Structure 1
Amino acid sequence: MTDIDIRKDGHAGRITLNRPKALNALTYEMCLAIEDALWEWRADPTIKLALIDAVGDKAFCAGGDIAERYATGTAGDYAYGQRFWRDEYRMNALVSEYPKPVVSFLQGFTMGGGVGVGCHGSHRVVGDSSKIAMPECGIGLIPDVGGSYLLAHAPGHLGEYLGMTTDRMGPGDAIHVGFADLYVPEDKWQGIKAHLCADGDLAALATAARPAPDAPLKEAQAQIDALFGGGSLGEIVDTLRADTSRFAQDALARLSRSAPLSLACTVAILHQLRAEQGDLRQALQLEYRFTSRSMEHGDFIEGIRAAIIDKDKSPKWSHDLDRVSDSDVAAMLRPVEGTEVTFERRSEA
């Protein structure tokens, strides 16, 4: 059994994540395999679309496999993690810019690295079990793998809310926010996949799609926009503290569990992308400015220790909510010294 099953099936190039016991967490080798397959299929006239799915009912992909990055980072080797992020981000851009349709089926948890694989394609399918989130601030990172681009283009200030609180979206909210396109009952998925492979015709998707379920965040849009419209972490925190509603206090409690430096940089990145109308490539490059420094100068190692290694859920962050300065943010988001994210096909492929 391999971690990823890549094959041709009729008129479809198939990519199936196959680590169900690990919630299909994405390894470095899986990232490279996805990239290689997509490049190969670009020039294959018999392949009309790429179809990405996963084994198991609990998760499409619950994130990136961070154990190796933690191990190397604690040993003072930051180069491995930096290379992982650069290669992963290049793959994310390839999915987004692919000249053929990319259809993804997002059951269960789709978080972090799973968003990078499954939420940049042309036809993103969700069902009743779908739970999509960007939980990176909770482990000392920022919404990456192009997640900042999706959040920056979400209606109003839902991007700040989701990126900072790490709240999960059900199928209706995922479509409303822009992380998915189609709601299809999951008992129809296997039949649709068979049709897609047999004839490469996307009509089967349109026929099976149903009206999206309720979107609670859409209903809370006005309140979220009022609470998360501040220009910095400090302004948003002040607004939340001044609002005694249950919604605001719950959001504040969620923020209080995440890394303040990550929260502040998330706000800065989303505002910059909106102001400059940045595209996905710019988002990935901005994200890399942070992630490439996250082990040595940020809270990533501590966040993983508390959440995954020791599991004490008591991280000791480098900053308090009220003490993240503009200079702290600027230091994490200044241009990268050394190798940056590039988007050309890697030479060893």
Structure 2
Amino acid sequence: MTQNEDVLVSVRNGVGILTLNRPKAINSLNDAMVAGMSEALHAWADDDSVHTVLLTGAGERGLCAGGDVVALYHSAKAGGADARRFWFDEYLLNAYIGRYPKTYVALMDGIVMGGGVGVAAHGSVRVATDTTKMAMPEVGIGFIPDVGGTYLLSRAPGALGLHAALTGAPFSGADAIAMGFADHYVPHDQLADFAEAVVTDGVNKALAAYAIDPPASPLLAQRDWIDECYAGDTVADIVAALRAHGAGPAAEAADLIATRSPIALAVTLEAVRRAAKLETLEDVLCEEYRTSCASVKSHDFVEGIRAQLVDKDRNPQWDPASIAAVTPADVEAYFVPAEPDLTFQEENK
């Protein structure tokens, strides 16, 4: 297997261990990491001596903060070819994890955002902790939730997924379980012992020994106003309903949405609603590949990353500048076929 310092690959006692290893960047995914994970997973799928996969992240800050968006920014400015290639390979990996033939345990500790959700939340055993800080924050950089995120968001109870998608706000490990992004809850200070138990005793015994009932989900407790306010047809309708709800969390959500890219918001609303009607993760990833390829050509993707992560002035100049200025044609342009489109026909043979 190819050696790759950005993702460490090892096998212990029948457990294939993948460690995302860019701790200074909160293990943000690059091409080499996607390739390394994919190569290892395909090799282990046919290896009878490996029965379980364990995904973890190096360092103290989190499993994975997402894709390396600064690299995507530079690609976008140069025409986007590298970004499209990265997403193509990344989404193939996300889908493969979703249908992986062996137990796939993801330790979703600390920051798990964007691409981090993609390599973790489609696994078969997804473990959150009291430090989990999960999010699909793409609208803040003029991008659209991807990596199968709209598949999960569209299947969360009520409108919780739309709330997470349009605000981009982080949610807790308890929220992640309530929303269908995670399955089990292990206290952060016992996670290392849990991981060791997976290797020595197997997944079921490890869960029995260390998993506990999660605390109540704060988001689930707010479902009444969330379901009511996010029922609107358009982003403008949703924001108006949030404002009308009065002070408190609804007003805070409206304030947050007001800082996001208007076109990204409108496309995200449509993408989550389309994803709800698509049957498989692969179908959704194909649609997300189209919105990603459209994003890389957009003004807001480059401008959003510039403002948040390059110049860091936190003052993006969105175009269109307001939700009211976004047209249906603007939104529809994000869903046209990519050239080439993502397809899973070869993968599934």
When normalised by structure 2's length, the TM-score is: 0.94
Give SS of 2:134's match: strand
The residue type paired with residue 297 of structure 1 is S
**Cα distance per residue 1:48-68 (max 9 Å; x no partner):** 111000111211101111222
The residue number in structure 2 matching 1:117 is 119
Counterpart residue number, 1:270: 272
Q: Name the counterpart of 1:289.
A: 290
Contact 1:17 1:55 in 2 (8 A): yes
SS at match of 2:75: helix
Greater shift, 240-249 or 8-17, is seen at 240-249
Residues in 1 aligned to 2:184 and 2:236: alpha-carbon distance in whole angstroms: 37
Q: Is the 8 A contact 1:106 1:127 kept in 2?
A: yes
How far the C-alpha of 1:147 sits from its partner, in A, is: 0.6
Aligned residue number for residue 23 of structure 2 = 20
Q: Distance in 2 between matches of 1:302 and 1:244?
A: 32
The structural deviation recorded for 1:278 is 2.9
**Structure 1 residues without counterparts, runs of 5 or longer:** none
The question of 1:244 aligning with 2:246 is answered: yes
1:9 is aligned to 12
1: distance between equivalents of 2:183 and 2:299? 34
Report the 3-state secondary structure (helix = DSSP H, G, I; strand = E; otherwise coil) of the residue aligned with 2:17.
strand
Shift of 1:335: 2.3
Which residue of structure 1 aligns with residue 318 of structure 2? 317
Tell me the amino acid that sits aligned with residue 126 of structure 1.
A
Report if aligned partners of 1:48, 1:200 keep a CA contact under 8 Å in 2. no
Shift of 1:18: 1.0
Among residues 166, 169, 177, which one is paired with 2:168 in the alignment? 166
Matching residue of 1:61: 64
Q: Is the 8 A contact 1:11 1:198 kept in 2?
A: no
Residue identity in the other structure for 1:127: T
- Matched letter for residue 57 of structure 1: E
Distance apart, 1:298 and its partner CA: 4.7
Question: Please, which of 129, 137, 142 is the counterpart of residue 139 of structure 2?
Answer: 137
1:112-131 per-residue CA deviation (whole Å, 9 max, x = no partner) reads 11001111101111111111
What is residue 30 of structure 1 aligned with on the other side? 33
How far apart, CA to CA, are the structure 2 residues paired with 1:314 and 1:190? 40
Contact 1:93/1:281 (8 A) holds in 2: yes
Q: Secondary structure at the match of 1:51?
A: strand
Listed one character per residue, the Cα deviations across residues 136-164 of structure 1 (whole Å, up to 9, x for unaligned) are 00001111111101100000001110001
Q: Which residue of 2 aligns with 1:193?
A: 195
Deviations 1:214-251 (A, max 9, x none): 21101100110011111222221222233323222111
Give the Å deviation of 1:272.
1.5
1:152 maps to: 154
Structure 1's 108 and 201: CA in aligned 2 closer, same or farther, altered over 3 A?
closer
Hey, what does 1:333 align to over in structure 2? Answer: 335
Deviation of 1:100 after TM superposition, in Å, equals: 0.6
The amino acid of 1:163's aligned partner reads A
Q: Secondary structure at the match of 2:294?
A: coil
Residue in 1 that maps onto 2:95: 93
Residue 214, structure 1, aligned to residue 216, structure 2: yes
Q: Secondary structure at the match of 2:60?
A: coil
Q: Counterpart in 2 of 1:280?
A: 281
Any conservation in 1 of the 2:76–2:302 contact (CA below 8 Å)? yes
The question of whether the paired residues in 1 share the 8 Å contact of 2:294 and 2:333 is answered with no
Match of 1:80 in 2: 82
* Runs of 5+ unmatched residues, structure 2: none
AA aligned opposite 1:218:
L
* Distance (Å, rounded) in 2 between the aligned partners of 1:175 and 1:201: 18
After superposing the two structures, state which structure 1 stretch, 197-206 or 81-90, moved more. 197-206
* Distance across 1 between alignment mates of 2:174 and 2:18: 25
1:139 and 1:307 in contact (8 A); partners too? yes
Q: Distance in 2 between matches of 1:248 and 1:199?
A: 46
Q: Secondary structure at the match of 1:52?
A: strand
Distance 1:247 1:195 in 2: 40
User: Aligned in 2, Cα 1:156/1:243: closer, same or farther, shift over 3 Å?
Assistant: same
1:266-319 CA distance string (max 9 Å, x none): 111111122x24321111111111110112135111110000111011111112
Q: 2:44 maps to which residue?
A: 41
TM-score by length of 1: 0.94
1:302 aligns with 2:297: no
Report Cα offsets for 1:42-91 as digits up to 9, x if no partner. 0000111110001112111011112222112213x211111111110110
